[in-house]
Amino acid sequence: MNQSNDDAEYFELVIVATSPTTDIWLGDDEGHFVDKGGGTLATSIRPGHYTVEFGLGAKAFPIHITQNTRRTEEEIAAGPSCPRPIPSIPPRGTGP
């Protein structure tokens, strides 16, 4: 029996930028936009691998979510960066 998305586990994620005017962009591991916040990003997401950018088009940083998480820009930027994943779109007529 398949579980519905309503039964999915979600975690709270809070990311605080150095400046309150910095846009925080969150994408999934396939490059799709997930959420955006100004100065602070507070969202609920499913566990998994994501990328964070502090300004659109800025250096991307990986973040892995397995529990409720609060991080600062300084903490994230102190770690390794990663290439921003580029979303792939299936050719027309091949989707569900």
What is the domain-level CATH number for residue 34?
2.60.40.10
Taking only the tens place, the pLDDT of each residue in 42-71 is 999 999 999 999 998 899 999 999 999 999
Range 6-30 average pLDDT: 94
For the chain, what is the domain count?
Answer: 1
Q: CA 41, CA 83: separation in Å to the nearest integer? A: 21
Alpha helices in 30-94 (DSSP H): 73-77
pLDDT beyond 90 at 74? yes
Q: Is residue 44 part of a domain?
A: yes
